[in-house]
Amino acid sequence: MVAIIDYDAGNVRSVEKAFLKLGKKAEITRDPGTILGADHVVLPGVGNFGDAAEKLRRYGMDEVIRDVILKEIPFLGICVGMQLLFEKSEESPGIPGLAVFKGTCRRFREEPGIKVPQIGWNSIHMMNGGRLFRDIPSSYVYFVHSYYVEAEEEKIVTAVSKHGIIFHAAVEKDKVSAVQFHPEKSGEIGLRILRNFVDIK
């Protein structure tokens, strides 16, 4: 079963539908026992970094996520769910992230030809052998974001993309993976990425 963490911050239904399309049982929940008993756990997210971080803490999901990682249950962060795994964001100064990874979320700078937020399809280029991208070539996926992750450890970066600058589009370390784009909105490629995630044991 895939547990999708419910903390009032994301398009959880579309994530659920994507897993159901793969034939995987998925449950939207904030029950700690259900999450810790799942085979895979997903943290989706859209919206403001600070609001999302505070809701995670209000519902006690920050500690549950740490327990999931300690138990080595395969974990996937999506969009703001990726950003929350890092230390902080320019979007919400003074509000800490979960600090699972070292790094900062920074705002894209508007310049000629570069709109903020980035909304739509963009290419990703794989690196460092991430398991999410097994047997998947460099592809186009769907982004909606004004902020991007700048990971401190280059070796955890498994995909990059370009929007004015080259930015980190995916990371992976041990059983924790995260993507800035929305696999649930990225068509067949997105489903293949989610299938690779549920294949992680």
pLDDT at 10 > cutoff 80: no
Would you give the distance in Å from CA 115 to the centre of its chain? 22
Contact (CB, 8 A) for 175 and 70: no
Domain residues for 81? 2-198
Nearest of 74, 201, 195 to residue 135 by alpha carbon: 195
79, 91, 145, 172: the active-site residue: 79
Q: Read off the tokens for 172.
A: 């992976």
40, 145, 168, 182: the active-site residue: 182
What is the model's pLDDT at position 169? 98
With cut-offs at 50, 70 and 90, classify the pLDDT of residue 15: very high
Count the residues in the chain.
201
What is the model's pLDDT at position 78? 98
Distance (Å, whole) CA 44 – CA 71: 20
Neighbours of 155 (CB within 10 A): 11
Q: With H, G, I as helix, E, B as strand and everything else as coil, classify residue 163.
A: strand
pLDDT at 85 > cutoff 80: yes
79 is catalytic: yes
Interval 138-168: pLDDT, tens: 899 999 999 999 999 999 999 999 999 999 9
User: What are the two backbone dihedrals, phi and then psi, of residue 194, each rounded to the nearest 5 degrees?
Assistant: -65, -35
Interval 49-82: pLDDT, tens: 999 999 999 999 999 999 999 999 999 999 999 9
Q: What percentage of residues in the chain have a pLDDT greater than 70?
A: 100
Distance (Å, whole) CA 4 – CA 25: 11
184 is catalytic: yes
Average pLDDT over residues 32-61: 96
**CA end-to-end span of the chain, whole Å?**
12
With cut-offs at 50, 70 and 90, classify the pLDDT of residue 9: confident
Nearest of 91, 16, 33, 83 to residue 56 by alpha carbon: 83
182 is catalytic: yes
128, 132, 133, 138 alpha-carbon torsion, rounded to 10°: -90
Number of domains the chain contains? 1
E strands in 146-192: 147-151, 157-163, 165-173, 176-179
Average pLDDT over the chain, rounded to whole?
96
What is the model's pLDDT at position 45? 87
Which domain CATH number covers 181?
A: 3.40.50.880
